[in-house]
Amino acid sequence: MGLEAVVNEIREKGRKEVEAIRAETRAEVEEILKEAQARAAEIKLSAKEEADRAATHIINQEVSAANLVVKRQVLNAQKTLLDQVYSASLAAIGDLPAEFQEKALTDLLKRAAKVIKKGVVHANERDIPLVEDTISRLKTLSGYTVGDPVDIPGGIIVESSDGELQLDYSYGTFLDEIWESSLKDASDILFA
């Protein structure tokens, strides 16, 4: 065997080893690429799931915030409406006919006389003549005098002569008491 044959044999052997190494390297590269692709798919899936969770969380927060804003606006509108009903009620009480006002003031004065025997009666400007007339007509009210007009929608405020006791029988006070005790019922009726 000549030198050329030995060289060819070594070359052939080297070429086979190179091909084997290349094939082995290609297999390793393909395995590494497969693993990288699988890992990338896992990362992508995990990121998508995390993004979906985050988006759902943000949407839920926004929906809750929007619901709170709407509820606040509804409550504000209801409060405005209730305030309007209160004001209208107070105005309607003050605008009742003179016969009603006379009877109501007489009853309130009699009621006050049971608690305060002598005192000063205050009423609004419109009702002062009715109060004066009622005090002059009824002997049980002889201990009363008429005081300065006060800014109330109707009713009376009676102050004892010594100034230690005051009865507030104004329509506004009565309406406030009724309003406080019946606000939930009124709200249920109006906004049910």
CB pairs under 8 A, 24+ apart, for 12-21?
none
Distance CA 18, CA 102 (A): 122
Residue ranges of the chain with pLDDT lower than 70?
A: 1, 186, 190-192
Q: Distance between alpha carbon 63 and the CA centroid of its chain, in Å?
A: 16
> pLDDT value at position 191?
67
Distance CA 166, CA 110 (A): 15
> pLDDT value at position 192?
65
- H or E element, residue 144: strand 144-146
> pLDDT value at position 132?
94
H helices then E strands: how many in the chain? 4, 4
Give the β-pairing of 144-146 and 119-122. parallel
